[in-house]
Every structure is written in C-alpha cells, then in structure tokens.
Structure 1
Amino acid sequence: MQLFFHENTQDKDFQLDLEESRHLIKVLRRKQGDKVNFTDGKGCLYTCVIKDANPKKTILSIEERNYVPEDDYYIHLAISPTKNSERMEWMIEKITEIGVHEITFMQSEHSERGNLKLDRLEKKIIAACKQSLKTRVPKLNPVVPMEELVRDKKFDTYQRFIAYVDKENDRHLIEKAKKDNAYIILIGPEGDFSKQELDLAFKHYFLPCSLGKSRLRSETAGLAAVHTLQLINNIEFQ
C-alpha cells in the first residue's frame, strides 16, 4: 500500500498540489480510474479514485472514509536541537516512523543551536508518515526555554522523565514508565543538562531515567526514548 497526504479533504472531490500530482501521475504512472489511498494527517484514511490524471493538478474523488482510532498513550519528546541540523532531521524522520505524537525543541543552558527550519522539518515528518503508513501527523513545536517547559501545568497529568548521563542515574526508562500513559521525556544537548536544570526538573516532578550504559548523541537518545516508550505500550513483557 502507498499512502499520500492532503490536508484539506472536506469536499468529496479535491485537487492535489503540483508535487503530489507529478509524483502520482508521472513517477507512479497512475491513470484515470485508478484507486489511491490518502490521509489528512488527522486520523482519517481515504480511498479515492482518480477523476482527472493531470500531472499538474490531479483531481481525486473520495469513495470511502475510515477513521483510525488514537493510541491509548501519548509520547511527547522534548529535545535540545544539535548544531548539525541534518542529525535533527534524521531523528525527526525516524521517530515519526517509530511513532511519536508531539515534538518540542528545547533551549537549555548548553544548547548549540537556537533556530530551526520548522517548515523543512514538517516536510520530513509528512514524508515519514507516508513512508510508515501513519494517518496522524505528529505535532511539531518551536523552540521554547527549558524553564518554561518544565513549569507548564499541562504536564501535571503526564509521566515526566528527564534522561541524562550519571553513574547514580542507572534505572532505565523501561523500568519506570507505565503502560497507557501520556509521557514527556526531556533530552539535553551534547553537553547535557546543567545541575541547575536538573534541580529545576526534579522540583517539578520529572523523574531521572537512563537510556542505557552507553553515552549517546542527543538524536540517538531521542530515538531510543521514543522506541522504548513504544515497546512498553506494544509488547507484553513476561
């Protein structure tokens, strides 16, 4: 199955943009009358038929709508962006494929980068959703200060974690997180969190957790955290 994306599917018939039209007709060689699958990124899966196979402005008609239920859990990754933007793009792509619900970029004391091209990252997310057949596009937030994030009252009902490297911090996330919850996990920059930042997080009920014995790059830690939370919610441990 191949999945395409179109945000505005309120009408029965809708027109694709130039990029999606060209890919569908020129690259995949689809013709009038062929059926294709689309999502609006909000949980709906559409079966459509091609009414006009124009490579510049293809018109589709919706034949069937199916709603994909939301997960019983919610994964929110908050991470300090790395200096190398390509590494962040790689991480965004992979955690979308694995299954993340929300991503926040966090400015911390040792952060190496303060600005990101969110429009480019949004495109990476949509491409990854299409690749992994996901009908929900993760929410992407701009950079916020760590202090503001940890004080946000909306996380009062979440399981809150902060991952960092310390020999005293040896209990893995997989031991601490409980199934079917909303989670937020903080991942620091390459220089890790400062002592003041750790103290602030603990004050607001963020629990320390480990992601393993190895010292990980920030983007690897983000990937490991999302994957661990997916395992907790999708595998029955003996």
Structure 2
Amino acid sequence: MAERFFCPTMTGTEAVLEGPEAHHLIHVMRARVGDRVNLFDGLGNEYLCEVEKIGKRNVTLRVLERCAIERELPFSLTVAAPLPKGDRQRMLVEKLTELGVTALVPLVTERTVVRPGKDVVNRLGRIVIEASKQCGRNRLMTITEPQAWESFLETIEPTAAKYLAHPRESAKREGLPSSEEGMPFGSEKLEQVPVFIAVGPEGGFTSAEVDAARSRGWHLLDLGPRIMRVETAAIALAALLGVGREIVRWS
C-alpha cells in the first residue's frame, strides 16, 4: 500500500498536516509542491491530495478526491485485556489494529501487574495511527480509558456476544463449542450483535472475577494446554473471531 498520512481535521477542499505527520512528509518523504499523497481521517474516508505549501512545521494540501472506503469487520469487536509489559504493548495494539478490532479496553484486574499510566490513551493511540497507516484502515481502533473488571462488566449490554479466555480446570479437552453452546462460528448471528473478548493478566482471572462474568452471560473459552501471554491470547482470539470469518479461498 502507498504511503498514507493521518489528518483528523479535513475540510471540503483543504487539509493541513501538522506534528509527526508533517515531519514525516517533509523530512522523511522529502515532499515537494505538486506531489500527490494519500490522507485518511480516521472516520472511514480516504483523500487524494496535492501538496500546495510546505512550511517549517506544517504542510497545506489541496483535496482532489474523497473516497469513503470501509475495511472494517462486519460487526463491532472489542478486546478487553490488561496491558502487558514494555514493547509487548506495541505488539498488542499493532496486531489488534491490523485484525480490525473496534476497541481495546485496558483492564485493571485483581492480578494486573502493569498499572496503566495517565498518558496511556494518547501513547497507544499513536501506535494505532501508525498501524492504520500501514494496514490500510480508515477508521481508528479506539483506546478507552483503563477500566476495572467489575466496572467493565457492568457496561456490556446483555444481548452482546461475550467470551472470556479461561483454562479448563479438568484435563479433559474438547473442540470449539458449537453455536448451540454459545459461540455462533459460521453463523449470521455474530454479525448482528457486538462481540466482546476478555483476556486476563499473566496470573489469570480470579475465581470471583470468572464467576462475576459467568453470572452476566459470558462464555468461557479454553485456548489449549499451553500458557499464552496476554498479547498472544488477545491476538489469537481476535484473529479467530475477526479475520477467521473474512478469509476467502481463491482456486
């Protein structure tokens, strides 16, 4: 995909790039007046633009064409998970953006290790922009304010499809549950309701946290006998529920 730039403040005929986006266009791409570039506004629109003026810290562009191009999943998909440590946060946000996740909720649970800082929304939001530029999404994945587990559970409507990653206590393992057991893989039902995925911290959800979810209609998913890190489990579930339904076979 061609180089893309994020511009949240678009008018009908003009766009102005500022901050990191302007710096990248001016100093990395070495733009010149008359060059054509692609912009997106994070709301579902792409723009073909022509550079009109280059300042020290901003670039003014003329809008030549606007296209409303959707590359989103056919349903809303929210992932709630405690943030992992260090660079693993970047991997989590990048991959969920690429997979089409609608929103990421940084969870605070009883066993959460990393407590989100005050700048978490802005910091992770910048990663969302960078990943969206690369993967072609025109709508930004939302990063919400951190939420405590109990508070998060109370915000979910009863009719939503809700899945919580939690290992089975017994050694007996089974395949994916059928639609009758609560997971409508391959059915049209999944596209008619918002879907929520919850992943616990490294130590897992406590029994009380699991019980609180089950009492509100959450279905438990066992991801196998191997212990996954937070970001691995979240990415795996997002791929299974999201991209897994978009794959098309070409003969």
TM-score by length of 2: 0.86
Structure 1 segment 1-238 matched on structure 2, within 5 A: 1-69=2-70, 71-82=73-84, 84-116=85-117, 117-152=120-155, 154-168=156-170, 170-172=174-176, 176-178=183-185, 179-180=190-191, 181-235=193-247
Could you tell me which runs of 5 or more consecutive residues in structure 1 were left unpaired when the two chains were aligned. none
Q: Secondary structure at the match of 1:38?
A: strand
Distance, in Å, in 2 between the alignment partners of 1:23 and 1:68 is 24
Offset of residue 174 of structure 1:
9.0
Q: Look up the equivalent residue of 1:67 and give its one-letter code.
A: A
Amino acid at match of 1:74: S
Q: Residue type of the partner of 1:165?
A: P
C-alpha separation in 1, matches of 2:178 and 2:63: 42
CA distance in 2, matches of 1:187, 1:203: 17
**Distance (Å, rounded) in 2 between the aligned partners of 1:195 and 1:227:** 27
Q: Which letter maps to 1:59?
A: T
Report Cα offsets for 1:165-218 as digits up to 9, x if no partner.
Answer: 225474547972434242101100000011111111110000011223321001
Q: Whole-Å Cα distance in 1 between the matches of residues 96 and 232 of structure 2?
A: 10
**How much does 1:133 deviate?**
1.3
Point out where structure 2 has 5 or more consecutive residues left out of the alignment: none
Conserved 8 A contact 1:5-1:39: yes
TM-score normalized by structure 1? 0.90
Distance 1:185 1:77 in 2: 5
- Matched length: 235
Root-mean-square deviation (Å) = 2.1
